[in-house]
Structures are given as C-alpha cells and as structure tokens.
Amino acid sequence: MTYGAAGEGVRVKAKRNTRLEALLVEFGYTHENLADAVNSAAAEMFGTHANCTDRHVRRWIAGDVQWPWPRHLVPLQNIFGRTAQEMGFTPRKTSRVPAHPTRTKPATGHRGLPRRDFITGGLAAALGLELIPAAGRLGSSDVERVRAIVANLYRYDHALGGGALHDVATEALRHVQSALNQCTFGDRVEKLMYAAMGDLAASAGWFAYDAGRQTAATHLYREALQAGALAGDSMLQARVWSNLAMQARLLHRDREALRMGCAAVETRQAKNDAWLMALLHCRQAVGHARAGDRVRAQRSLARAESAYERTQGRPAAWLSFLTPAELTGLAGAAHLALGQQRRAEQLTLSALQMLEPRFERNRVYYTVQYAQALIDGGEIEHAAVQAGTAVTLAERVRSGRVRGKLADLRRGLQQHTHVPVVVDFLEETGQTGA
C-alpha cells in the first residue's frame, strides 16, 4: 500500500465505491454539497473545520481512498446513518473503526446538535490518537497533539458532562502512556510530554469526578500528580490539588478540602497565574463558608475578584469555564453555605443570566442552586418551578454530580408536599431519576 499526499490509504488498483455513489444519488448530494455537509458536521461535533473539498468526495467515489481520515469518516457516518463499511469503505489493519452511527435518517434542513451517544463514540475516533506513534521517536508535534486532545474534550465537557467523556479520556490517556513507554525522546520532549500527559490525566479525573466515579477520579488525579512532579509542572500540581479539594468537599470532608485548597493556593505557579488564582480563591471561599467562617469566606471572594481583574489573554483549556458567570455562581454558593439565602439567590440568578449557552451542565447546576436558595428563603412554589426547569435541562447532560444535586433538591422539596406545585413536580419527576 502507498499513501497519497493527504495521508489517506490509496490502493494501486482502485475499485469504484458504488455504495457511496448510490448514497449521494439517494440523498440528493452533489460532490460539493457533501463536502460542505462534512465540514458543517465536523464543526458541530469536534469544534474544528474538516477541510473537506469536492476533490475528497471524488476520490472516495473513484475508490482511490479506501478509508478516509476520521475527521471525514465520522461526520459521513452521521450524515448518512451508515457504518463506514455500509458506505463502501474498507478498513486497513491499523484503522480505528468508529462506533456505529445512531442516526437512521440523513439530516435535512438545519442540523441540530448530534446525538450524545454518537458524539462520544465518534469522538474517540476523531481525537487523532492514531497520529501519536506507538513506536519510534516522539517530538514536540506529538506533545501538541496530546494538548489538542484535552482541548477537544473540554469543548464537549461544558455541554455533555463528564459521564459522556470519562471513558474516552481514559482511553486516550492509556494510549499516550503506551507511547511514552514504547517510544524514544529527548530530555526536553520528555518533560513536555509528561506535562501534557498529566494534563490529560487530570482532565480524565475531572470527567470521572463529574460522572460520580470517585474511585476512578482519585486514581487519575494521583497519576496526574505523578506526571506533574516528573515534568516539574507546578501549575498542573496546583490544579490537581484544587480538584482533590473539590472531591473531598463532595464527600463531606470539608476540613481536608480546605487544607488541600490551601496547598494549591500556596504553589508558585498559582501565585503567578491570575486565572488559576481566581478559581482557587473562589473554591476556598465555598470551603470556608461551609466551615462557617464568614470572614475568611468573604476575604477569599475579594481575593478571587482581584485576581480575575488581573487576568490576561485566554486561559488554559481546562479553565475555559472560568467566566464572570462562574465566579458569580461560586460566590452565590458561598453565600448559600453561610445561610445568606437572599444574597445567594441574587448572585445565582445573575450567574444564570450571564451564562453562555455552551455551558449546559453549569446551567443545570446553577438552576439547582437557585432553586435551593429559593427553598431556603421560603419561596417554595418558585423553587418547584425552577426544579422542573433543572430536570428538563438535565436530560441533555450526563453528570453524576448534577444528578446528585437534583436528588438532594428533590428530597428538600419532599418536605413541602402541602404546596400543590411541589406535588405536581414530584409526581412528574417520579420516574426521571431526579
């Protein structure tokens, strides 16, 4: 087998792909139209343009290309609702076969978001893992590929939740670990690769945490800490300590969470990175509030605001959620823990109003927080309405953490069954798992 300029497999004796040709006729696509459709689907699914042209389509039909790149193949599956083989493509021995498409009919008119299960299956094939060598020598370009994997994963995390991404991220991590064990590299690339691998491990740990898989999250965070130590990456270590603090807080180990958060704040990198420092102080504020320390909570909130005012440029991929809406929502969480429900209600509502549409999971999370503040303030009917909104929004998100918050909210509302709107909510959501 030889390889074409674009890197796709090319056979010497090409056999025309009549199956794909028939699909174009059946669904009314020209070569140009199909290329546009692939690019649109890729942009929606992966956040990047697939650079597909009518020339690619002609080569597929002519049989010059037996197995397209994943960035083209996965959108094709979603467009036609067929597996790669059903579209007439033939995998090589080393080809990564994407999951079976869930779409049974081609999209017509405006394309909405792809189905969640298809995204998580297709994303595994489109992360570019096959471009990271399993043997030979690793270079700086391979480091960038690992960094790109993390950025791609976080594009979906904000909308789908960690439950949709934990397995995919863990698979990617094991692939990178294998490359580090099997390949050769220089000292500079070694440190960079360990830092990138630690970034991926910490991300996988976050997805596991959000999915409710706390044992897996702890294991992955430890791997990230080890990689951070080998790379000499203090920012990565501060990030992991912060995430471990969040996990401890989720497991009701509040004092341990505060100590871990303090360890993260004291790292040199955290002190030099305003984005990270803003997040750390916000999380510490919530921790101090849960411990009943109003003075320290307010001091941490003030420090978070001051740090955020010093931020410049764009944050790292894992910090892309840190917007004014997020800081306001975390301030609301701190005030709610302090029993200041009116201020918590105001801040959380403001956070929801500022939150960008792409942060679907956080919208559910803060809608639940808003409903809880309303309950604490005695506005039970309004709280029940907001709880219903949260349940509806949560149908699009796979997050064990959010499901846990919804369950807590539901139990809180069960104390108010004398309110008709609450009874309606409990009856309507009785089978939803909320």
Q: Please list the pLDDT of the chain residue by residue as tens digits (434 residues).
A: 333 333 444 444 568 888 898 888 777 788 888 988 888 888 777 766 677 888 889 889 888 888 888 888 888 988 888 888 889 998 876 555 555 454 434 443 333 334 444 445 556 666 767 778 888 898 888 899 888 888 888 878 887 788 878 888 998 899 899 989 898 999 899 999 999 999 999 999 999 999 999 999 999 999 999 999 999 988 898 899 999 999 999 998 988 999 998 888 887 777 788 999 999 999 999 999 999 999 999 999 999 999 999 999 888 888 989 999 999 999 999 999 999 999 999 999 999 999 988 888 999 999 999 999 999 999 999 999 999 999 988 887 888 999 999 999 999 999 999 999 999 999 888 744 45
How do the domains of the chain map onto residue ranges? 2-100, 341-434
For residue 417, give the amino acid letter: T
Strand boundaries in 289-346, DSSP class E: none
- 137: phi then psi, degrees, rounded to nearest 5: -120, 135
CB 20 within 8 A of CB 88: yes
CA atoms within 13 A on the CB side of 350: 17
* Tokens describing residue 102: 């869930």
For residue 150, give the amino acid letter: V
CB 46 within 8 A of CB 123: yes
The most distant pair of C-alpha atoms in the chain lies apart, rounded to whole Å, by: 77
CB 72 within 8 A of CB 35: no
* Alpha-carbon span 198 to 331, nearest angstrom: 29
Closest C-alpha among 134, 131, 201 to residue 166? 201
* Tokens describing residue 145: 């590929």
| Model confidence, pTM | 0.69
CATH architecture of 2-100: Orthogonal Bundle (1.10)
Query: Do the bridges between strand 9-10 and strand 2-3 make them parallel or antiparallel, or are there none, so unpaired?
Result: antiparallel
